[in-house]
Amino acid sequence: MAVFPLDVIVEILLRLPVKPLLRFRCVSKPLCALIDSHDFIRSHLKLSDETRNHLSLILCSRSLYSVDFASLDNAVELDHPLISRDNRTEVLGSCDGLICLINCPDMGPMAIWNPSTRRCHKLPILELESLGQVTAQDDMIYGFGYDSVNDDYKVVSIFQMIGDRKDSFVSFVKVYSMKSNSWGRIQDFPYCHPYKWRCGVLVGSALHWVVRRMPEDTANLIAAFDLTNEDYKLVPQPEFSDNTFHMYIAELGGYLCILCNYDPARFEVWVMKDYRVKESWSKLFSIAQPEEIRSLDFVVPLAYSKSGCEVLLVQEHYKFVSYDLEHKTIKKINILGIPNEFDLAVCVESLVPLNGGGKTYGKNQGYEREKKKKKKKKKKR
């Protein structure tokens, strides 16, 4: 029987989805050690990102749903560790195949979850006692990302209160480190965030939000939080010939994007090729008065197709369309089983472990409640 060289075996394994890799861990101790190694996990993740393989959309409504990005045919409901009868679960961000979840609106438990390996790490309770109890009128801003220098996953929580006259605001910022399994307070967020529940856009090792200097200001800025240095910077914007648009930001293909909504005239997407270099901004595409899109109020690009010729867009939290960059055409995407309205995140399959200092729950522990529910249903029948 022919024996393949180790480097050939590694190259084959790197191209496989997570599910068979988890099975292959049981074949032998050397193979298990290889698949569990830091270098293999990072190489597998890097290749999946580069080839756009093993991507899925995570849709968040009352429940969580997964949609395979390659087929975009139907949504599959997910069991997840924060399932609650009373509270909605929100996705705060996605990074390296990990998803940050929170139960809301009562500032409930938070967790970092790998839906591919079904491992879950529950975060310590976030204490905001110095600013009093959080209410519906206060702003909670979040972000989730990876500090590559310190090999640490971090969650950023910004609590902000705006004064009655809207001429002042105060903020309170805490950062969770998975390595230390603890929250630590850092310097206050120096900008006013005009949107509620707006999660940070992760590009590289920085989180980004659309902000203003003061509550009464109308000029939008882009603030960045460096996950390594834990400091704030402003990102320069391109010179727009027409500033009468609603601005959003997103990540597309690893780059920061500005989304310009000239409602109802057109919708533009600008991409920054060199990070924080103003001259590197360029217009990726512009959609003028499309019949296929009823309203341009909220359209966000999600990801390039595998060929790179199309961009998947989501509109108003409930409808998907695909835009052909070469032919400048729009195609509706109908996905079966999706909820009427949803928030979403793009997630890549990964083997990234949850090595924090706290409790990490495996598949059996994290889904014990669901098993009990199923047993009860069977007994009733």
Please write the tens of the pLDDT for every residue from 243-257.
Answer: 888 889 999 999 999
β-bridge pairing 281-288 and 231-234: unpaired
> pLDDT grade, residue 339 (50/70/90)?
confident
Closest CA to 153 of 355, 361, 363: 355
Q: What is the pTM of this model?
A: 0.88
Reading the block at residue 161, the tokens are 């209160």
- Whether pLDDT at 310 is above 50: yes
User: Do residues 91 and 98 lie in contact, with contact meaning Cβ atoms separated by under 8 Å?
Assistant: no
Instruction: Give the pLDDT score at 106.
Output: 55
Reading the block at residue 114, the tokens are 């790998």
Query: Region 68-90: what's the mean pLDDT?
Result: 84
Reading the block at residue 113, the tokens are 């979850």
User: Do residues 12 and 23 lie in contact, with contact meaning Cβ atoms separated by under 8 Å?
Assistant: no
User: Do residues 59 and 78 lie in contact, with contact meaning Cβ atoms separated by under 8 Å?
Assistant: no
Instruction: Give the pLDDT score at 342.
Output: 85
Residue 163 exposure: Cα atoms within 13 Å on the Cβ side: 9
- Whether pLDDT at 376 is above 80: no
Query: Region 258-286: what's the mean pLDDT?
Result: 90
Query: Region 266-294: what's the mean pLDDT?
Result: 85
> How many residues in total does the chain contain?
381
Give kind and range of the element (H or E) at residue 64. Answer: strand 64-68
Query: Region 183-209: what's the mean pLDDT?
Result: 90
User: Do residues 95 and 105 lie in contact, with contact meaning Cβ atoms separated by under 8 Å?
Assistant: no
One-letter amino acid for residue 221 of the chain: L
Q: What is the three-class DSSP state of 353?
A: coil
Rounded CA-CA distance 356/345 in Å is: 23
Query: Region 355-378: what's the mean pLDDT?
Result: 47
Instruction: Give the pLDDT score at 177.
Output: 97
Helical segments of the chain, H only: 6-14, 18-24, 29-36, 38-51, 363-366, 368-380
- Whether pLDDT at 198 is above 80: no
- Whether pLDDT at 361 is above 60: no
Residue 378: phi and psi, rounded to 5, are -65, -40
- Whether pLDDT at 81 is above 60: yes
Rounded CA-CA distance 122/181 in Å is: 9
Residue 105 exposure: Cα atoms within 13 Å on the Cβ side: 8
Instruction: Give the pLDDT score at 365.
Output: 40
Instruction: Report DSSP state, residue 3.
Output: -
Calculate the CA 93 to chain-centre distance: 3
The residue ranking higher by pLDDT, 88 or 210, is: 210
One-letter amino acid for residue 320 of the chain: F
56-60, 277-281, 312-316, range with greatest mean pLDDT:
277-281
% of the chain at pLDDT higher than 70: 84
Domain 37-353 class in CATH? mainly beta
One-letter amino acid for residue 187 of the chain: Q
Q: Facing residues of 103 across strands? A: 89
Residues sharing a CB contact under 8 Å with residue 229, sequence separation 6 or more, in sequence order? none
Rounded CA-CA distance 105/135 in Å is: 9
Q: Where in the chain are the domains?
A: 37-353
> pLDDT grade, residue 227 (50/70/90)?
very high
pLDDT, the chain, mean: 85
One-letter amino acid for residue 16 of the chain: L
